Amino acid sequence: MGRIPDEDIQRVRDATDLVQLVSETAVVKQRGRLWWANCPFHQEKTPSFKVDPATQLWHCFGCGRGGDVFDFVKESQGLEFYEAVRWLAERARIEIHEEEGGASFGAKERLRAACEAAAAFYHKVLTTDRSPQAQAAREYLSSRGFGSEVAKRWRLGFAPIGGRSLVSYLAGQGFTRDELLGAGLAVGGAGERLRDRFVGRVMFPIADLHGRVIAFGGRVLESAGGSGPKYLNSSETPIFVKAANLYGIDKARNPIVVANRAVVVEGYTDVIALHEAGIQTAVATLGTALGERHVRLLSRFAKRVLYLFDGDEAGLRAADRALEFVDWSATPEAGGGRVDFAVAIIPDGLDPADFLAQRGAAAMQAVIDGAVPLVRYALDRRIERHDTGTPEGKAAALAEAVDVLARVGGNILAEEYARYVADRLLVEPASVLAALAKARKARRRAARPDEAAKEREPAEIVVEMSAPERALLMLAAGYPNIRSSARELLAEDLGEPLVSSNVKRLVEAVIEAGAATGDGLLALVRERVPEAATTLSAVLVDAPEVEEVQYAFREIADRLKESALERLILRKNARLRELDPVKDAEEHEAVFRELVEIQRALAALKKG
């Protein structure tokens, strides 16, 4: 997908009312000029989530998140910026024109319509076709415990063996060759007749968060004339990205919020079996490992993600691969974005559907409830590979264990698990901590900061500010007519900075934004100081009305100067105490005179 022009982004922004948008996911109530709600991004009983309709900005003073309409959609839907723009454009029915070949809103609507029509076609074939192949598909689903009602709820289907059945049907519905290819429903080179992509397969429609069919997964049935790989997914399209979608997320989203936990499995039938057994928080990846974008999506709805893996060797290897997420989301340093991972292994090498069929829902719930933290699981797996009864085995186990802990980061969690490893290996905790420090140093040395910086998004930070600094930022952000005065103020040299470096950088970004205000200002500041956007949104949302702006600015400027002079006096006094009046008479006298002048300036400033 291509870049979206700034003018299209602005049209989407202008067409979106933030209060209305928030009210679709939270109950909002007006108090004065602001609207309040319980934050949809963390659990709270007292509302701390504010929306300012004048600036079209929001901020939660509980979890610290904030921003404009695009930030709200990014948080609530688990999207990147351009994805959020597209999402809002579709909501407002605005056509956007993407550069470098991106598909427009109208084109995407047609692709979704094609997928919806295909889902209806496949389902009708499954449920009404009397061919032996369709009967084989029904028997397969029945063998998995899925009868007609389950097939209806999940819109299951069957792709017949004709090779052009779907293509012919959709062409009759008015869909073009390019639309069938673009939706991933057909294949065929230039000058060739189109053929169905899916043939002789049980079909599982893949829906987006809103329940709209955007792709398919197909399970081959050799008894029904199918061939090729066991599972075949749609290719990626303008409406379907494997790394950003999860099977069942449309049905699981609300239960995940209620439970504050998502259960991730590996197959379509596993998801269906779990939901039908009452475990409705289950989702599955789409032929890929659980990735960063998947976890970001899930973290919008819950802060706990449980991997439920088959107990066979393939399932255990998949569980081992899950450790890579410890780096960026399982540590306390991740703050509001932290996700706690756990692992549950189904016993006896069974998959979730088979386990449910043999043991029942209560036994499956017990397996889920018995999940262990991902870090502990990883440590146990690595230690168990070695004979810790020998010095060589113990050393190898320690090396692998500290490699795991080095990924956790410098925090209490890693230190607690270092003690756990010491207990498992019967060594002193100090030995584990020393090995951990060495492993961390090696990881830092091996890291390539230039590439890491390109991949990592700027971390949101909260800029610490004094009351006068906050007031200066609020005035500069809310009232463009004082920005030139703010620029002159920051340029003054009193021998001591008027504001901290972080505050200065943020205020300067506001000044450079010209006459922009509200969400337009936030967008411009984010380009210059992306990590401080949350701080600015908090200031803007919480800003009171100011009647005498110039007077307020002068008062704030005086307070900042007073604070700077007071700090300078402290520094000069400290220097005087270091000097000997006799041995350092000349410097002592000079510092004393400077101190007197500073004190006079401070007195004059306070006198007004």
- Which residue range forms the structural domain that includes residue 561? 467-607
Number of H helices, E strands in the chain: 28, 16
Average of per-residue pLDDT across 205-211: 91
Q: 404-445 pLDDT, tens per residue?
A: 888 775 556 777 888 889 888 988 888 888 888 888 778 767
**Whether residue 56 is found in the same domain as residue 121:** no
Last residue of a domain, one of 377, 394, 411: 377
Domain match, 433 and 500 both = no
Residue 280 CA, distance from chain mean position: 22
pLDDT digits (tens, 9 = 90+) for 333-349: 344 456 788 999 998 88
Percent of the chain scoring above 90 in pLDDT: 31
Both 97 and 109 in a single domain?
no
Question: Quick one: pLDDT band at residue 463, thresholds 50, 70, 90?
Answer: low
Which segment, 195-199, 325-329, 531-535, is predicted with the most confidence on average? 195-199
Same domain for 424 and 436? yes
* Same structural domain, 234 and 262: no
- Residue 135: pLDDT band (50, 70, 90) is very high
Q: Are residues 393 and 431 part of one domain?
A: yes
CATH number at residue 506: 1.10.860
* Position 112 confidence tier, pLDDT thresholds 50, 70, 90: very high
Strand order in the sheet with 34-37: 29-31, 34-37, 49-52, 57-60, 66-67
Are residues 58 and 113 both part of a single domain? no
Which tens digit of pLDDT belongs to each residue from 287-300? Answer: 777 777 788 788 77
pTM attached to this predicted model: 0.62
pLDDT confidence of residue 428: 85
According to the model, what pLDDT value does residue 603 have? 82
Quick one: 211 and 307 in the same domain?
no
Cα distances from 19 to residues 54, 175, 427, in angstroms, run: 10, 38, 58
Please report whether residue 538 resides in a domain.
yes
pLDDT bin (cut points 50, 70, 90) of residue 195 is very high
Please give the pLDDT value at position 268.
93
Both 477 and 602 in a single domain?
A: yes
Q: In b/e form, how buried is each residue of 155-189, taking b as 16+ CB within 10 angstroms?
A: bbbbbbbbebbbbebbbeeebeeebbbbbbbbebe
Least confident of 50-59, 366-375, 519-528: 519-528
479 and 589 inside one domain: yes
Residue 307 domain-assigned (yes or no): yes
460 assigned to some structural domain: no
Average pLDDT over residues 285-312: 81
Q: How far apart are CA 72 and CA 89, in angstroms?
A: 14
**Across all residues in the chain, what is the average pLDDT?**
84
Q: DSSP label at 247?
A: B
Overall domain count for the chain: 5
Highest average pLDDT, of 358-367, 474-483, 557-566, comes from: 358-367
Query: Could you tell me if 361 and 392 lie in one domain?
Result: no
Is the same domain home to 373 and 334? Answer: yes
Does residue 549 carry a pLDDT above 90?
no
Residue 275 has pLDDT above 50, yes or no: yes
Q: Predicted confidence band at 330 (pLDDT cuts at 50, 70, 90)?
A: very low
Q: Which segment of 57-61, 96-100, 273-277, 482-486 scores lowest on mean pLDDT?
A: 96-100
- Can you tell me the mean pLDDT for 498-512? 88
Question: What percentage of the chain has pLDDT greater than the value 70?
Answer: 88
pLDDT of residue 181: 95
pLDDT score of 219: 94
pLDDT band (50, 70, 90) for residue 606: confident
Q: What tokens appear for 102 in the block?
A: 């991106």
pLDDT at 331 over 70: no
* pLDDT bracket for residue 447 (50, 70, 90): low
Of 51-65, 244-258, 375-389, the one with minimum mean pLDDT is 51-65
Region 247-275: what's the mean pLDDT? 92
CATH of residue 38: 3.90.580.10
Q: DSSP for 512-543, please give it.
A: TTTT--HHHHHHHHHHH-GGGHHHHHHHHHTP
pLDDT at 323 over 80: no
Q: Is residue 435 in a domain?
A: yes
Q: Worst-scoring range by mean pLDDT, 88-102, 105-119, 360-374?
A: 88-102
Per-residue pLDDT, averaged over 567-571, amounts to 84
> What is the structure's pLDDT at 105?
56
Q: What distance in Å separates the CA atoms of residue 406 and residue 445, rounded to the nearest whole number?
A: 13
Task: Give a yes or no: residue 504 inside a domain.
Answer: yes
Mean predicted confidence (pLDDT) in 118-126: 97
Indicate the pairing of strand 29-31 with strand 304-309: unpaired
Q: Which of 217, 240, 263 is the last residue of a domain?
A: 240
What is the mean pLDDT of the segment spanning 99-118? 78
pLDDT band of 454, cuts 50, 70, 90: very low
Among the candidates 240, 262, 296, a domain finishes at: 240
